[in-house]
Amino acid sequence: MKPAITPDIASQCLALALAPALALNRRAVDRTKKSKSKSKSKSRLGCILLCAALLAGCLPRLDYPQKREFQLELNTQDNLAPAAETLPALRIVGVLAAPPLDEHGFIYRRGEHEYIRDYYNEFFSRPAQNLEWSLRQGLEQSRQFKAVLGKGDRIEADWLLELRLNALHADVRRGETEDGKQRPGAVIELQAHLSRDLPGGAELVMQKTYREFEPAQSAKPDALVAAWNRALTRVLNALIKDLRNSPMNESILPAGPSESASYSIEGV
């Protein structure tokens, strides 16, 4: 005798039979919802891009400042006297600069204690490197030394020159300086230490600070760089004069007008 089929058993069998079909239907519904959602997202994105394109055509174009780079250079003449072979060799140990002064961007002084940096007008190389190369080149062209050497040169040098950069900025404050010079202007300050290279160690024989303020025609970068170049040339002229009068050149300076280095401080 076969067992009787109750309503509960029948409903369970029907649910099992329809389960695969229901699962497929749910998947189809999910796909439809996702498709509609993606379609709506694409539609919204298209509207956003269209609005952005329309706004771009209406808004004014912004022109950002162009970045410019400059080098410090000496103003020299070619008619320089040759050096006697007896003049001592000079080694430039280097130019030391505090971190704020050895960055590429120009520094402007706007108040008694207010300084700002210009990130669009810069030195091509770091000021310490720029000054070391320029001063070495100027000292070589002065023809007062047997050789002017750098830290990496293997040739022996009798004298050591170390320089420290204490100031390099544009003074754009209003009014005149304390000594009556008109602003804006370029400021540079270098401190020189001359030492004799002895077997027992270096002996300091001269220490002097050179500070120059050179008026500029305007606060524009080209005018400021031209003023810095003139100020740097003045510093070099004073340094060469002091080196010639220092113990390193006692009794070995060439005589006559040809002993003087000739440098021009005209604008570039």
Lowest mean pLDDT among 17-31, 35-49, 72-86, 252-266: 252-266
| pLDDT value at residue 108 | 93
178 vs 128, more confident = 128
Residue-range domains of the chain with CATH: 82-252 (3.40.50.10610)
Which of 192 and 4 is assigned the larger pLDDT?
Answer: 192
User: Rounded to whole angstroms, how far apart are CA atoms 220 and 68?
Assistant: 12
194-219 burial, b for 16+ CB within 10 Å, e for fewer? Answer: bbbeeeeeeeeebeeebebbbbbeee
Position 211 scores a pLDDT of: 95
Q: Is the pLDDT of residue 162 over 70?
A: yes
* Token pair 């505090």: residue: 98
The total number of residues shown for the chain amounts to 268
Q: How many CA atoms lie within 13 A of 263 on its CB side?
A: 26
Compute the average pLDDT of residues 64-72.
Answer: 83
Distance CA 256, CA 246 (A): 18
DSSP alpha helix (H) spans, 209-256: 221-244
Beta strands in 172-260 (DSSP E): 185-198, 201-215
Taking only the tens place, the pLDDT of each residue in 202-240 is 789 999 999 999 999 899 999 999 999 999 999 999 998
pLDDT at 126: 92
Closest CA to 225 of 97, 82, 17, 72: 72
For residue 155, what pLDDT is reported?
81
Q: pTM of this prediction?
A: 0.67
Question: Is 37 a residue whose pLDDT tops 80?
Answer: no
